[in-house]
Amino acid sequence: MVHAVNEIFSWTDNPTDLLKDPLLLQKCVHESMRLHPASPVAWRTPTEPLTVASQDVTPDDLLILDLHAANRDPDIFGDDPEKFDPYRSVTYVKTELYGLTFGAGVHMCTGRDLDGGVASRPNTDKNTHQYGIVCMLIKTLLEHKMMPHKSKKPQPDLSTVRNSWGTYPVQFEQA
Ligand code: HEM
């Protein structure tokens, strides 16, 4: 949620305008989830020898799926995959804007619709759509006129090599 708020604040000076277009707000959340997957990698141990991406692997190998890198694959997400672009259209038909952030296959996150909501389609009704908890939390914060704190700056979490925020001060009305 904090990553999404930071991306929105960096992308627009008028974040509360997103309240007029909640489907776009959800796309902002999904685009941020793509850029900042909570688990940057997924580990697998093969149960039997198999070939993955032209490489033979055995039960003695650890297979690391780099979700962070996959989510920035230009073949899937376009020429500027590092950029935050909630209007991005994804070229590969089976891929959502949030990429592999919720995993894939039989072990795909069972909480994805709860937290991420359902991805919108061109005919989606914005009044009955399932936006997901992260989007709804940010919507509520924006309704309370959340804005970046005027004097306190966000700090990264230095206790981890992962890309996380340690503190992210905001304020809710003009100082
Ligand atoms: C933004 C929030 C979340 C993210 C980014 C996320 C991400 C993921 C990822 C990447 C996996 C797959 C791990 C793998 O393949 O090794 C996973 C699995 C899982 N997630 Fe989530 N998750 C989120 C929220 C939730 C919530 C809210 C719940 C439950 C209410 C949940 C329940 C699960 C379960 C049970 C699995 C294991 C599924 C299985 O192994 O069959 N997750 N999640």
Mutate to test the pocket of ligand 1, among 109, 130, 163 (most ligand atoms within 8 A of CB): 109
Q: Is 112 a domain residue?
A: yes
Both tokens of residue 125?
Answer: 């009704």
Q: Nearest residue CA, atom 9 of ligand 1?
A: 102
Ligand 1 center to residue 54 CA distance, Å? 28
Q: Is 140 a domain residue?
A: yes
Sign of CA dihedral 138, 72, 120, 123: positive
Q: Is 115 a domain residue?
A: yes
By the 8 A CB rule, do 168 and 154 touch? yes
pLDDT at 173: 79
Q: Is 164 a domain residue?
A: no
- Domain span at residue 151 reads 2-38+84-157
Cα 144 to Cα 138: distance, rounded to the nearest angstrom: 10
Q: Nearest residue CA, atom 24 of ligand 1?
A: 111
By the 8 A CB rule, do 77 and 71 touch? yes
Q: Nearest residue CA, atom 19 of ligand 1?
A: 109
Q: Is 165 a domain residue?
A: no
By the 8 A CB rule, do 67 and 41 touch? yes
Give, in degrees to the nearest 5, the angle at Cα 141 between 140 and 146.
150
Half-sphere exposure of 114 (CA within 13 A, CB side): 3
Q: Is 174 a domain residue?
A: no
Q: Nearest residue CA, atom 1 of ligand 1?
A: 115
Ligand 1 center to residue 5 CA distance, Å? 21
Ligand 1 center to residue 102 CA distance, Å? 6
Q: Is 52 a domain residue?
A: no
* Residue-by-residue pLDDT tens, the chain, 175 positions: 999 999 999 999 999 999 999 999 999 999 999 999 999 999 999 999 999 989 999 999 999 999 999 999 999 999 999 999 999 999 777 899 999 999 999 999 999 999 999 999 999 999 999 999 999 999 999 999 999 999 999 999 999 989 999 999 999 976 4
Q: Is any atom of ligand 1 closer than 6 Å to the C-beta of 171?
A: no
By the 8 A CB rule, do 39 and 68 touch? no
Q: Is any atom of ligand 1 closer than 6 Å to the C-beta of 102?
A: yes
* Number of domains the chain is built from: 1
Q: Is 167 a domain residue?
A: no
